[in-house]
Amino acid sequence: MKLFLLATLNGITVAGLYFIVAIGFTLIFGLMRVINLAHGSLYILGAYIGYDVATSTGNWYLGLAAGGVSVALAGLLIQSTLLDRIQGQEMRQSLVAIGLSIVIADLLLARYGGLAYQFDPPAILYGSVPLPIVRAYPTFRLVVVGAAVIVGLVIWLLVYRTRFGIIIRAGVDDRPMLSALGVNVPLVSILVFGLGAGLAGLAGVVGGSALSISPGEDARYLLSSLVVVIVGGMGSLSGTAIGALLIGLAEQIGLAYFPTYSVIVSFVIMAAVLALRPQGLMGRPE
């Protein structure tokens, strides 16, 4: 019982982290249809930048802000100079993004080496909270879940309650028509890319604090984001939340009960969803 509860709590925590990374991916890939296979690199870039700023200033919050803002700026740059020029050409966009992620990964390896880094979050977020049955649980992991909920609400409000959100959704339905109504669609996709990238950077700092930062994490988070978005349904915010929860729980419960085979659980779920409901759980048919 204790193991199950602990695995569930861990699953929800990981789901929160996956959600923050994947919601940015949903904005960029699911909604704007930019094949950003460098999303995992944006995550790890945010983590390292955040780490440098947090350790040199001694202020974790500054590190968090630096990770988010600098990666958002990097995202604006990447979309406006590289990916938007080849919008609609899936293969080229994929290759450019993969190439970019290899370059970023090597640069980071040169600068930070292969060691794992960990943050020191402020005391108020660290330590543990007493809980029934599992007795104590790391506070920061609960903070991750809270952060995911807040991020989810803010993005939902942006997409469904603002004019900018109307423009984003209209662009998903019919880009040429949106342009013909006077909206600068490339500019919109650059801004959305910046936002999604910023969320990945933010998640990097949060994830690096809850777990750790090391080379290879980029591929892990890219993969988890892809799986979450495909399971939840392209472009669906609620689908991203459900997908993140499903994958996070499956992964952690799998790790607790059958560690050898846990890696395949997410992919079994993805394969099942693709077979039974190809548009994803909350997606709509093309």
Partner 1 sequence: MHFIWETMTETPVLQIRGLDARYGTSRILQGIDLTVRSEPVAVIGRNGMGKTTLCHAIMGMGPICDGSIRFDGVELVGRPSHQIAKRGISLVPQGRHIFRSLTVEEHLQLVDQRRPRRWTRDRVYQVFPRLAERRQSTGSALSGGEQQMLAVGRALLTNPRLLIMDEPSEGLAPIVVDKLVATLQAVLAEGTALLLIEQNLSVAAAVSERLAVMVVGRIALETSARELLADTDTQQRLLGIGAAAGFAAAGPTDVERPM
Closest contact distance (angstroms) between CB of 90 and partner 1 is 19
- Residues 73-102 within binding reach of partner 1 (CB under 8 A): none
Closest contact distance (angstroms) between CB of 163 and partner 1 is 6
180 is a site residue for partner 1 (CB under 8 A): yes
Q: Is 130 exposed, middle or buried (0-12, 13-18, 19+ CB in 10 A)?
A: exposed
Binding-residue pattern over the window 134 to 163 for partner 1, x denoting contact by CB under 8 A:
-----------------------------x
Q: Which is nearer to partner 1, 77 or 167 (CB)?
A: 167
Q: Which is nearer to partner 1, 111 or 163 (CB)?
A: 163
285 is a site residue for partner 1 (CB under 8 A): no
Task: Compute the distance between CA of residue 79 and CA of residue 81 in angstroms, rounded to an integer.
Answer: 6
Closest contact distance (angstroms) between CB of 180 and partner 1 is 5
Strand ranges (E), 74-193: 128-131, 135-138
Q: Which is nearer to partner 1, 55 or 279 (CB)?
A: 279
Closest contact distance (angstroms) between CB of 191 and partner 1 is 14
Greatest pairwise CA separation for the chain in angstroms: 60
Closest contact distance (angstroms) between CB of 39 and partner 1 is 24
Six token digits for residue 197: 């990238």
Six token digits for residue 171: 């662009």
Among 6, 65, 125, 183, which residue sits at the site for partner 1 (rule: CB under 8 A)? 183
Q: Which is nearer to partner 1, 134 or 172 (CB)?
A: 172
286 is a site residue for partner 1 (CB under 8 A): no
Six token digits for residue 183: 């909206």
Task: Compute the distance between CA of residue 284 and CA of residue 238 in angstroms, rounded to an integer.
Answer: 12
C-alpha torsion 150→151→155→160, nearest 10 = -20
Burial 226-237 (b: 16+ CB within 10 A, else e): bbbbbbbbbbbb
Q: Which is nearer to partner 1, 170 or 281 (CB)?
A: 170
Give the residue carrying structure tokens 């919050």: 61
Count of chain residues binding partner 1 (CB under 8 A): 18
**Of 46, 38, 24, nearest to 159 (Cα)?**
24
Give the residue carrying structure tokens 């099942």: 272
Among 73, 86, 145, 166, which residue sits at the site for partner 1 (rule: CB under 8 A)? 166
Work out the angle at residue 80's Cα, subtended by the Cα atoms of residues 168 and 178, and round it to the nearest 5 degrees: 30
Among 8, 55, 94, 179, which residue sits at the site for partner 1 (rule: CB under 8 A)? 179
Q: Please list, in sequence order, all residues whose beta carbon lies within 8 angstroms of the beta carbon of residue 168, skipping any fewer than 6 positions away.
A: 27, 31, 32, 159, 188, 192
Among 167, 219, 226, 281, which residue sits at the site for partner 1 (rule: CB under 8 A)? 167
Q: Which is nearer to partner 1, 130 or 182 (CB)?
A: 182
Among 76, 158, 172, 219, which residue sits at the site for partner 1 (rule: CB under 8 A)? 172
Which residue ranges make up the site for partner 1 (CB under 8 A)? 163, 166-167, 169-170, 172-174, 176-185
